[in-house]
């Protein structure tokens, strides 16, 4: 009897581990049931995003309301099943080993919250009467786009680049914020005496600072004094070069990551032409 119970428990654990593995694909896997499941979920996430966007068009929303509703119900059913399976099988992960607290930890993890937000608005709408609040809750489903980063290598590269260059990016954006605050404060003292309605406070001048630094220039607020115009010109010119700084940091991060990835793959020599090439570029070298 004990052997039967142990066998049943072992079968349950094995099945649960398979479920967890199937729902948590690595970006390097390009075949198998796990790949098919997660690609299907990615397509469903993408279609949900398109449906959310199209549903905000009044003519489409009124004409095809039943189609949007049926698709939402179908999506919620699929996402609910996926969420429950993840919650049940998460104890197979080394991060959520405890049967109770492991699942609680999963619920409040980043990906657990993202998964929950994909289905919670549908059920919460039954208790909310304000249509504006319901629509806002449904827009939270767009957050599921974050999960697609686990399925595709391109998203993983972006994440790794931003992580490796976070200190440089923080420094660059800190300097940009400091310059916006400094120039806006200075512009307030220059323009407030002659334009008290436009530059009524430093926070109001910050709107001008952001517009000018990003070279947007809406034109709703601008300096009219000579000193203000000179300052505005300097801020606009410096804004072009300053925002190129984080772009350069990210570009160098991409270059370093791709070079490192190629070095990890290593070089091989073509047996036909004796040319050397990276394994990552094998598809480019064919005879």
What are the structural domain ranges in the chain?
2-151, 176-244
State the fold for domain 2-151.
1.20.120
Instruction: Return the residue matching tokens 């009467």.
Output: 129
Degrees, nearest 5: CA angle 33-144-249 = 105
pLDDT of 182: 94
Each residue of 165-191: pLDDT tens digit?
Answer: 889 899 989 988 999 999 999 999 999
Distance, in Å, from the CA atom of 245 to the CA atom of 266, rounded to the nearest integer, reads 32
pLDDT of 215: 75
In degrees rounded to 5, what are phi and psi of residue 153?
-65, -30
Q: Is 6 exposed, middle or buried (0-12, 13-18, 19+ CB in 10 A)?
A: exposed
Instruction: Return the residue matching tokens 């949007």.
Output: 68
Please name the residues in contact with 204: beta carbons below 8 A apart, sequence gap of 6 or more: 188, 198, 221
Average pLDDT, consecutive stretches of 10 residues, N- to C-terminus, the chain (287 residues): 52 76 66 77 86 86 88 90 90 84 89 82 75 71 70 74 88 90 93 90 90 79 90 88 85 82 57 53 50
pLDDT of 285: 46
pLDDT of 188: 93
Q: Is 271 exposed, middle or buried (0-12, 13-18, 19+ CB in 10 A)?
A: exposed
Quote the pTM value. Answer: 0.61
pLDDT of 113: 86
Each residue of 15-28: pLDDT tens digit?
Answer: 888 888 888 766 55
pLDDT of 287: 47
pLDDT of 72: 87
Three-state SS string across 225-272, please? CHHHHHHHHHHHHHHHHHCHHHHHHHHHHHHHHHHHHHHHHCEEECCC
Chain centroid to CA 242: 24
pLDDT of 12: 55
Query: What is the rounded (10 degree) CA torsion for 24, 44, 40, 113?
Result: 10
For domain 176-244, the question of CATH label 1.10.287.70 is answered with yes
């Amino acid at each position: 009897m004990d052997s039967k119970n142990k066998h049943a428990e072992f079968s349950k654990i094995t099945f649960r581990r398979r479920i967890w593995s199937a729902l948590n694909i690595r970006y390097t896997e390009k075949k198998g049931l796990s790949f098919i499941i997660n690609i299907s979920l990615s397509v469903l996430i993408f279609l949900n995003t398109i449906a959310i966007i199209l549903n905000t068009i009044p003519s489409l929303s009124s004409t095809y309301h039943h189609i949007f509703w049926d698709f939402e119900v179908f999506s919620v059913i699929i996402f609910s099943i996926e969420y429950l399976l993840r919650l049940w099988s998460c104890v197979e992960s080394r991060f959520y080993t405890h049967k109770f607290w492991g699942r609680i930890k999963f619920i409040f993890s980043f990906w657990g919250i993202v998964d929950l937000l994909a289905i919670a608005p549908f059920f919460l709408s039954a208790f909310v009467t304000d249509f504006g609040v319901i629509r806002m809750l449904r827009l939270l489903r767009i957050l599921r786009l974050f999960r697609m980063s686990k399925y595709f290598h391109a998203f993983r590269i972006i994440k790794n680049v931003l992580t490796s260059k976070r200190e440089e990016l923080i420094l660059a954006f800190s300097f940009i914020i400091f310059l916006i605050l400094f120039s806006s404060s200075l512009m307030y003292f220059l323009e407030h005496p002659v334009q008290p309605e436009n530059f009524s406070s430093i926070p109001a001048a910050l709107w001008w600072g952001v517009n000018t630094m990003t070279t947007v220039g809406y034109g709703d607020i601008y300096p009219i004094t000579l000193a203000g115009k000179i300052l505005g010109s300097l801020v606009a010119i410096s804004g072009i070069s300053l925002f190129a700084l984080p772009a350069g940091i990210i570009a160098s991060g991409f270059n370093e990551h791709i070079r490192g990835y190629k070095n990890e793959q290593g070089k091989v020599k073509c047996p036909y032409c004796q040319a050397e090439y990276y394994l990552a570029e094998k598809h480019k070298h064919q005879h």
